[in-house]
Amino acid sequence: MRQDKPIEERLKAKAAEIGFAACGIADADAAPQTAARLQAWLAEGAHGDMLWMEERAEQRGSPKGLWPEVRSVIALGMSYAPAADPLALAEEGEVGRISVYAQGADYHDVVKRRLKELARWLVAEAPGADVKVFVDTAPVMEKPLSEAAGLGWQGKHTNLVSRAHGSWLFLGAIYTTLELASDGPSGGSCGSCDACQTACPTDAFPAPYRIDARRCVSYLTIENKGPIPHAFREAIGNRIYGCDDCLAVCPWNKFAVAAQANLAFHPRAELTVPYLADLLALDDASFRTVFAGSPIKRIGRDRMMRNCLIAAGNSGSARLAPAATALLDDPAPVVRGAAIWALARLDPFRWQEARVARARSEADPQVRAEWDGLDSPAPPR
Question: Cβ(69)–Cβ(130) under 8 Å?
Answer: yes
Please, how many CA atoms are within 13 Å of residue 235, restricted to the half-sphere of its CB? 20
DSSP letter at 341 equals H
Q: Per the residue annotation, which of 49, 130, 136, 278 is the catalytic one? A: 136
Catalytic residue list contains 29 = no
Burial class (CB in 10 A: 0-12, 13-18, 19+), 36: exposed
Decide: 164 and 151 in contact? Cβ < 8 Å: no
The residue length of the chain stands at 381
What gap in Å lies between CA 365 and CA 226, rounded to an integer?
A: 12
Span between the terminal Cα atoms of the chain, in Å: 55
Report the candidate in 131, 134, 138, 171 with the shortest Cα–Cα distance to residue 56: 138
Crossing angle for the helix pair 348-358 and 333-346, nearest 10 degrees?
140
Cα separation of 178 and 325, whole Å? Answer: 60
Report the catalytic residues.
136
